[in-house]
Structure 1
């Protein structure tokens, strides 16, 4: 009897416990559900997913079936076609992922089949790292220490690319090439991101062997190419963080420890969302009263200027244009543009998070929402609300030669470049006053 691997956010052959479990007793079938939820993704993310699946399908000798249906219908149909009594999958921890796996498990159980879950998209699954009293960590630094102390398994090794069987009949009904072409036309990028697992691994090894030595000093410099560019690969499951940590753990250099610390933020945010699922849309703490956020035509015009990179603040505009063009933005700049939206334009973080969800190729539920809450001062262990990034100071410090802003804002220093749409000093004072008002209301 064949076993079935349900591919989710683990679209790779290496270090994939669910796939290895499916292949444990012989060849396995493989299914990916192209669910209705994917139609709400941006064109660029759908195009990239299609390319990732195309590459994975090629790696399985064409055995990966991609079916347009709900996850429950796709997995149940594939299990019946494969005569599989057991389906193996990696466990998800986001609210939508949890709902989906409950639905799949119920459909399989009603048909006399079973869903077995092993592994996750994290080095340490959310909920595992807890304080001595059993409660979750609410502050990052002690979480990171406990996360390191907890540790993680070694990489699980590669699956056998020859140990797959084709479903008969093949339930694939998704034209991946067509989806990629349509996504590109609808939502074009300057160039596609890497979608091949082998090339991601090569780039990772090159980074660890070389550029990671400069990571401590240069990771905040958007004008320098000193980051790993792993975010999209992690978001789509082309590489597991455990694989990354195994490579960095072999490097005796402070930069490797710094890089691991940054990776642990991803795990902290996932853990926070697991315990606080409402954080997808709701602030975990109040920093401004609901009625004090900017609304109306003026607020909408300011949002459009921010989204299009026409604020008159070079670092903000460069970041937003980089995002629009490439689907990616340097992390330091992400913090600056987010702070500008919330604390200079006085718009709620959810508006910015929604735009990032549409524009980012590396969009990840917990990472995006909790990073926005960190900047807004509303999350767990958030940056305090009174910390307001000055876009001009940040530019001088982190793009001292102005190479980054000149790359993305070619009309800079010409009459075509707009004047600043706000007075940063004045808006900072307004933001702090709104925060004080919110605290006063909470104190009554």
Structure 2
């Protein structure tokens, strides 16, 4: 039996510029790529979850690319802890290569895998791939992590150079892929999923970068890059995105890419913040958590047009404009006094580009409970946000066609009353 290395794909679904794949291909053993549809994750998802369709389609494309090289992608469905022992019976595995993942479940899974593979005398080698800087690479002078974005970004930006954004030349070493006949894999149906009807954004953002700073806040304009999904699953390399931002001199977009890394660093250093408030005293807030009001928010029937437009855009497309994400987040936590975790969970279910670190970070920012957060007494006024960012109601009319007619919902709560109520409740909890 031939000794092989395995490249375990997870959130890095591409052959070009992939750190772990590059190191695997240079390991001296033929490399068999592997992807596991992980039941520990999939069992919690609805059967028409669009992200599963996106992953499945990407896997089909990867298999074709690898087959052109005389190799293939081994695709399994189940729990990694059960699948790995089966793979070791099938192949003579010397080393396993993969890229770092920073979310709590992934860290636990990888710790367990490292222990298991080491006990089988198999090296488990992991690499940085989905961020430019990770873990302890950006720290304050006293070696503690930054908890405020601006100083973090200053250092992130100062440290950035060609070395960190250079692409890994994987193609040069494709001859080292394990040569094999076509390998069968599970279909969506085999795994109990249906094909989603949602459209997935293409990777095409270069034409947006010149006007990104001017246009990104206006939801009626298609001025943002829509690459969240591709960064989430690694169909686009972060090194490529950052290189393109620098080349286009789009500093605003560069700082948005850095926000993502800031939140990942926070999640890494403060894993409790995935489910608890970063500022712990915010867990004393007495949320109202009215289920009917939450339902109205989810469905886009609050009587606040910009909030409703955002929620309907999310429900129908799996995406929401970033400016509007801030408005709906503030509205849920401040106007309705509903726990930010309820909103975070709803977004986790609906967003194609859901990334735990950014989503949790964004929701805690809206609630005031996160790091670098807006002070709790800042309550977004949906009307002023509309005047500023959708003055002609173009975005609103697109998603709320009954806006301006008698059919449109009455406001669920009056703004001034809601503002006074939240300030009182937060003050009581925080003083």
Settle same-fold status: TM greater than 0.5.
Answer: yes
Q: How is 1:44-443 mapped onto 2 (pairs within 5 angstroms)?
A: 44-61=50-67, 63-151=72-160, 152-159=164-171, 163-165=176-178, 170=183, 173-176=185-188, 182-184=194-196, 188-189=197-198, 192-194=199-201, 200=203, 203=204, 207-208=205-206, 210-251=207-248, 253=249, 256-286=250-280, 290=284, 292-295=286-289, 299-440=290-431
Deviates further, 384-393 or 105-114 = 105-114
Q: For 1:131 and 1:294, how far apart are their aligned partners in 2? A: 38
SS state of the match for residue 210, structure 2?
helix
Q: For 1:167 and 1:365, how far apart are their aligned partners in 2? A: 36
Quick one: which of 41, 45, 48 aligns to 2:45? Answer: 41
Query: Structure 2 vs 1, CA of residues 110 and 181 (structure 1 numbering), >3 Å: closer, same or farther?
Result: closer
Q: Is the 8 A contact 2:5 2:93 kept in 1?
A: yes
Deviates further, 407-416 or 49-58 = 49-58
Deviates further, 15-24 or 66-75 = 66-75
Q: Give the TM-score normalised by the residue count of structure 1.
A: 0.89
Deviates further, 158-167 or 351-360 = 158-167
Mind listing any 5+ residue stretches in structure 2 that lack a counterpart?
A: none
Query: Structure 2 vs 1, CA of residues 180 and 129 (structure 1 numbering), >3 Å: closer, same or farther?
Result: farther
Cα deviation 1:162-221 (Å, max 9, x = unaligned): 653366894x5421476696142xxx53xx204xxxx62xx1xxx33x321111111101
Cα deviation 1:109-158 (Å, max 9, x = unaligned): 22221111122311112321100110000110000011112222412134
Deviates further, 152-161 or 16-25 = 152-161
Q: Is the 8 A contact 1:79 1:85 kept in 2?
A: no
Deviates further, 9-18 or 145-154 = 145-154
Query: Structure 2 vs 1, CA of residues 179 and 68 (structure 1 numbering), >3 Å: closer, same or farther?
Result: closer
SS state of the match for residue 413, structure 2?
coil
Q: For 2:280 and 2:422, how far apart are their aligned partners in 1? A: 13
Query: Structure 2 vs 1, CA of residues 289 and 154 (structure 1 numbering), >3 Å: closer, same or farther?
Result: closer
SS state of the match for residue 267, structure 2?
helix
SS state of the match for residue 85, structure 1?
strand
Q: For 1:337 and 1:69, how far apart are their aligned partners in 2? A: 36
Tell me how far 1:161 sits from its aligned partner. Answer: 5.5
Query: Structure 2 vs 1, CA of residues 313 and 109 (structure 1 numbering), >3 Å: closer, same or farther?
Result: same
Query: Structure 2 vs 1, CA of residues 350 and 87 (structure 1 numbering), >3 Å: closer, same or farther?
Result: same
Count of aligned pairs: 418
Deviates further, 274-283 or 63-72 = 63-72
Q: For 2:25 and 2:89, how far apart are their aligned partners in 1? A: 18
Q: Is the 8 A contact 2:188 2:195 kept in 1?
A: no
Query: Structure 2 vs 1, CA of residues 294 and 404 (structure 1 numbering), >3 Å: closer, same or farther?
Result: same
Q: Which residue matches 1:12?
A: 14
Tell me how far 1:250 sits from its aligned partner. Answer: 2.1
Q: Give the TM-score normalised by the residue count of structure 2.
A: 0.92
Match status 1:30 vs 2:21: no
SS state of the match for residue 99, structure 1?
helix
SS state of the match for residue 152, structure 2?
helix
Q: For 2:179 and 2:271, how far apart are their aligned partners in 1? A: 38
Tell me how far 1:265 sits from its aligned partner. Answer: 0.4
Cα deviation 1:322-371 (Å, max 9, x = unaligned): 00011000000000000000000000100000000000011111111111
SS state of the match for residue 15, structure 1?
coil
Mind listing any 5+ residue stretches in structure 1 that lack a counterpart?
A: none
Q: For 2:148 and 2:272, how far apart are their aligned partners in 1? A: 18
Query: Structure 2 vs 1, CA of residues 432 and 288 (structure 1 numbering), >3 Å: closer, same or farther?
Result: farther
Tell me how far 1:294 sits from its aligned partner. Answer: 0.3
Q: For 2:33 and 2:84, how far apart are their aligned partners in 1? A: 9
